[in-house]
Structure 1
């Protein structure tokens, strides 16, 4: 079983994904004995222009193994951040290698650092204000997928996953992703999801989209609070969110909910037509 042929390997001991739209390979779980072989397969994909970023999620326990393999293969690994509790309570340390040197450049570093600082300075809020009466909040249903896809099309020119396709949204709903949305006059105007990873007992707050004319109403604040309530019901405590590093609004919204900043993934995924840096924010829910 090779990465080039299968694009994903998921066994008891390995969990590796080839993410072609974002030209990256992510190693979530791997065997030390096979890691060097897998990295050689990635090199072959680089030659075919399939991938130019490799990310490894490491537990504290296997950090030394990664260092040894990196030395043996002459990998230039860079620590980008960590996700607290990612592996069912164990922290994930994210190390990346950039196979294309242009991809490791953080183009807007100074601006992004100001956004992070302002989000942290504002801090979390004790109480969420009541949703304005002209809006309604509810869980998404299968019959919403066509309208949801249309919202994603309007908000994002490109997106790391095919959220503009109704069939894909239905698929992820069936695969343990929960969506909450806000409607105005029975039309969907804001959406976000919690992508639940049952294997690792974590959830990513993601797919946040609000139609431009409805921004500034705090809709995502209410949606995220609702998603967290639903995750508590499902006993999923380990949360994280990857926010666009240049988005003042999203970084402030997520910090408002008590998430802590843990690093920045440089040129991590294709959003609105180009690779963007993504900030890591984490939170532990009390069950």
Structure 2
């Protein structure tokens, strides 16, 4: 895979595919499909071979669960109510031995167990008045990119580029940030799927010296409020499986663990497993 990331649509007489080609992470993701599931899968595998992908991901509907199992795909995670109220099952297929190997799985299982023992009733007070919460706009793009460069040496999407940040804003991604002495010190976003009425809470980053005030919890709650106002109740987030702090934040905000995506993307400093967390905003 040697071109930049792109979304493509393939429409043939018996099926339709919406594909995300992701050369940086050496993977292909099928975000949507209709029609003959066998032909959909054939085409997806053909694309994976053509682009020399190491991993294929398919967001499947519940009724296709067993047929995909039969075809050798592996279920990794679930997002409740992803498709306008119907569950999405994230299936994967691996194409190299290395991509299927992982040394951290047992450690990460232990971390999930530890997180589920945490007290969810303890809530930190609002941070000192020097911290100001705002919805970000395009004028923040340069500084947002700077924050992501500082926190993540490697990131699965080009957030290090301010133009990419502006592009995501134009496409409907919501960003909220905390300013401290005029500088952005914490941020997160929601990638909104307005057709299927779901949103991925993502791009969570806080500078180390500002992590003691629970800024991320406050930002995510603010984003959730905006999503509810838009009539979006399916919220999910994919967190680095080795990051105790981020997984703990999601658990304490009442997200439920829904599986782990193995060797999913290059983030922080290497190829990492990612935990899926899901919340039904209609219940809060």
Moved over 6 A (4+): none
1:29 aligns with 2:32: yes
Residue 45 (str. 1) matches residue 47 (str. 2):
no
**1:223 and 2:219 aligned:** yes
Could you tell me whether the CA contact under 8 Å between 1:54 and 1:97 is conserved in 2?
A: yes
Please list the CA deviations of residues 122-171 of structure 1 after superposition, one character each: whole Å capped at 9, or x if unmatched: 15347663232221111112111111111111111110111111111111
Query: Which residue of the other structure, out of 95, 104, 110, is the alignment partner of 1:108?
Result: 104
SS of aligned partner of 1:144 = helix
Q: Which runs of 5+ in 2 are unaligned?
A: none
* Match status 1:58 vs 2:73: no
Deviation at 1:252, TM superposition (A): 0.4
Corresponding residue of 2:252: 256
CA contact (8 A) 1:138 1:180 kept: yes
Which deviates the most, 183-192 or 211-220?
A: 211-220
1:104-143 mapped onto 2 (5 Å cutoff)? 104-122=100-118, 124-125=120-121, 129-143=125-139
**Structure 1 partner of 2:140:** 144
TM-score, reference length from structure 2: 0.90
TM-score, scaled relative to structure 1: 0.89
User: Partner residue of 2:190?
Assistant: 194
Secondary structure at the residue paired with 1:58? strand
Moved more, 5-14 or 37-46: 5-14
Structure 1: runs of 5 or more not aligned: 71-75
Find the aligned partners of 2:119 and 2:262 in 1 and give their Cα distance: 24
Alpha-carbon deviations, 1:193-216, whole Å to 9, x = none?
011011221001100011122122
TM-superposition CA deviations, 1:49-78 (whole Å, max 9, x none): xx100111111112244345x2xxxxx422
**Higher relative contact order, structure no. (Cα contacts within 8 Å, ≥ 6 residues apart):** 1
What is aligned with 1:8?
7
Q: What does residue 97 of structure 1 align with?
A: 93
Shift of 1:5: 11
The reply to whether residue 244 of structure 1 matches residue 244 of structure 2 is: no
Aligned length: 274
Distance 1:16 1:124 in 2: 38
